[in-house]
Amino acid sequence: MGVFDSWDGKRVAWVMLGAVLAALIGLALFRYIGPFLFAIFLYYATRPLYRQLDRVIGHPNVTTTATILFVILPMIAVVVYAAVVGLRELDQLLAASDLEAYRSTLEPYLQPIRRGNVGELRDAVGSGGGGSFAGALRQGVPGAVGRLLSVAGEVFSVLARFFLMLTILFYLLRDDEKLRRWFYESIDHDDDIVSYTQAVDDDLETVFLSNLAVILVAATAAAVTYYGLNFVASGGTVVGTPVLLSLLIGIGTLIPAVGMKIVYVPYGLVLLGVALTTPKPLWHPIAFFALTFVVVDTIPDFFARSFLSARSGVHMGLVLLGYFLGTLAFGWWGLFLGPIVVVLAVHFGETVFPGLASDFLRE
């Protein structure tokens, strides 16, 4: 006789224990729902790559590590590149303004950045920038230690969430087949549940993979467009950092409603302001806006999403609505929760609800 063969005290005890464990796990996941949902997004977006690599490598741990590095390394490269460009822009701002005194404090770090010498930058950080920051601390900067501890706590929190996301992603990629077999065996391969979960699984892969594809297509189109614009432009370059701007535009496609416009519209307005106040040609910002809107924003988004949504059982308008409402309702992690809820709801309405409604009406 199995544990759940009768409604006796043992079965009630097992159910209560399962409910407590589920509540504790749910509470832990809710406290870190952002990294968990981001790991699910990356899992579905990178699963096709993992399966292709696994056919060649044949070792789950190595294949999973290679897949994650393929995704994480470009992200780290974007952050580092953005930091370097930001420091350079800050250096130019300080040099062109009345903030020269602050520039001298940053000079030990800015010089290695300008020369591209990573080793010298590391030595400057290790030595405290020639003692400038250490001297400031010795002179009794108010609350310096407290601010440093606060920053260290924030950095540790971000790194902990990053590590949690990587851990969840690693085991989802490596052990998804084991989890799937365990679940189907637990439900005795019920046809309705299996068909529902498989349909949801396939559509989530299509939806999240389409996001990754749009990011790559938009970033590539932007980079080619901006390099071409700089090549034909007279009176200096139009886009000063085409690679960084292209990567930010690609990432901006994830933002609901506005999308990449949150990146290129402010940049174009800056170009317009420069053209109106300096001898820069006025056609620079006009060409930037026109090419970005047509070549970068409209064409890649339309063709990439249309091609991939044709493979999905969920209307793309509903998915976009899920992105928008999810972000409004839950914050940044609603960007990933919204599409999941939409896919679950659509397939529930198509496959489960009609049967439940007919059974209810017959009763």
Would you place residue 23 in the very low, low, confident or very high pLDDT band (cuts 50, 70, 90)?
A: very high
Would you place residue 137 in the very low, low, confident or very high pLDDT band (cuts 50, 70, 90)?
A: very low
Give, in order, the Cα–Cα distances in Å from 71 to each of 45, 104, 166, 169, 216.
10, 38, 11, 11, 12
Among 59-63, 122-126, 221-225, the range scoring the smallest mean pLDDT is 122-126
Among 101-110, 134-143, 317-326, the range scoring the smallest mean pLDDT is 134-143
Written in H, E and C, the secondary structure of 216-236 is: HHHHHHHHHHHHHHHHHCCCC
Give, in order, the Cα–Cα distances in Å from 106 to each of 88, 91, 218.
11, 8, 35
Give ∠ CA 198-202-204 in degrees, rounded to 5.
115
d(Cα 223, Cα 343) in Å, to the nearest integer? 33
The ranges assigned to domains in the chain are 35-119+145-186, 193-363
Instruction: Specify whether the CB–CB gap between 339 and 240 falls below 8 A.
Output: no
pLDDT at 88 over 80: no
The 10s digit of each residue's pLDDT in 281-323 is 888 889 999 999 888 887 776 666 666 555 666 777 787 788 7
Higher pLDDT residue, 129 or 20?
20
Handedness of CA 324, 328, 331, 337 (dihedral sign): negative
